């Protein structure tokens, strides 16, 4: 199947279809609707292993993975995180809320978050919270790389994914205690996985951000 590359610098016939790595990179999308099919543990573990292969500052490998694969439990987490998110947004202050609304108008794809009945985990059958120690200043970058490895690995084996930043609000819920995360750790990101039930939109990529300095 050909990869839809959207607006990028790639020319038709650039060979992307013949390069498995590029094909996977360009075909990954944030997917927000999932089939009611569980994901086998062996695939979850392969995906986490791909995450572990990410580079990390001073080879700290700061990530820890907390996996939910029980649909009823995921629903309970979603409900509580949804409420915590609304409270968290309300606490941001007028300026930040105005910025968020302006950004939603300029980038309507952000509103995709809110489609469906589960605006947190989008009905996915697997949720992985990724945490790190609070005192590691590089951990956010490391976990970004780790999560991207996981999402590309998922795509390469026929699974879809979405990074869920609002998963962080789990720390403001009662149900958080079920994860048994240590006090010196914090949730940086959640990644959801599953068999997608939609064709992800191809968002145009900005091309005015490259500068050669001679
Ligand atoms: C750090 C980060 C946090 C994100 N948080 C959310 C989120 O909370 N909910 C969601 O539905 N999508 C979330 N996304 C997905 C983005 O909205 C999505 O990647 C972006 O719109 C580009 O679309 P694409 O991934 O399909 O190319 C997040 C992405 C990143 C990188």
Q: Percent of the chain at pLDDT above 70?
A: 88
Look up the CATH number of the domain holding residue 63.
3.40.109.10
Q: Is residue 150 included in any domain, yes or no? A: yes
Give residue 39's domain range: 30-85+117-194
Choosing from 163, 166, 169 the residue with most ligand 1 atoms within 8 A of its CB, the one to mutate for a pocket test is 163
Q: How many domains would you assign to the chain? A: 1
Q: What is the pLDDT of residues 35-50, one digit of tens each?
A: 999 999 999 999 999 9
Q: Which residues line ligand 1 (CB under 6 A)?
A: 29-30, 32, 109, 113, 162-166, 200, 203
Tell me whether residue 11 is in a domain. Answer: no
Task: Identify whether 161 is part of a domain.
Answer: yes
Nearest-5° Cα angle at 140, 179 to 98: 95
Q: What pLDDT band is residue 88 in, cutting at 50, 70 and 90?
A: confident
Assigned domain for 179 exists: yes
**Residue 205 token pair:** 């990529």
- The answer to the question of residue 199 being in a domain is no
Q: What is the pLDDT of residues 129-166, one digit of tens each?
A: 999 999 999 999 999 999 999 999 999 999 999 999 99
**Single pTM value for the model:** 0.91
According to the model, what pLDDT value does residue 31 have?
98
């Amino acid at each position: 199947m050909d990869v839809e590359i959207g607006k990028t610098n790639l020319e038709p016939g650039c060979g992307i279809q013949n390069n498995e790595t590029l094909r996977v990179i360009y075909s990954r999308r944030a997917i927000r609707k999932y089939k009611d099919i569980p994901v086998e543990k062996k695939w979850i573990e392969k995906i986490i292993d791909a995450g572990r292969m990410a580079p990390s500052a001073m080879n700290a490998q700061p990530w820890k993975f907390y996996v939910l694969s029980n649909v009823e439990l995921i629903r309970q987490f979603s409900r509580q995180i949804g409420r915590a998110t609304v409270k968290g947004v309300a606490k941001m202050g007028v300026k930040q809320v105005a910025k968020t609304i302006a950004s939603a108008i300029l980038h309507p794809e952000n509103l995709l978050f809110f489609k469906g009945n589960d605006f947190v985990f989008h009905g996915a059958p697997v949720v992985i919270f990724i945490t790190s120690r609070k005192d590691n200043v590089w951990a956010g970058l490391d976990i970004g790389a780790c999560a991207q490895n996981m999402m590309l690995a998922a795509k390469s084996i026929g699974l879809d994914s979405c990074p869920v930043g609002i998963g962080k609000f789990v720390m403001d819920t009662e149900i958080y205690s079920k994860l048994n995360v240590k006090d010196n750790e914090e949730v940086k990101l959640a990644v959801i996985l599953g068999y997608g039930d939609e064709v992800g939109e191809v968002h145009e990529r900005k091309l005015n951000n490259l500068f050669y300095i001679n």
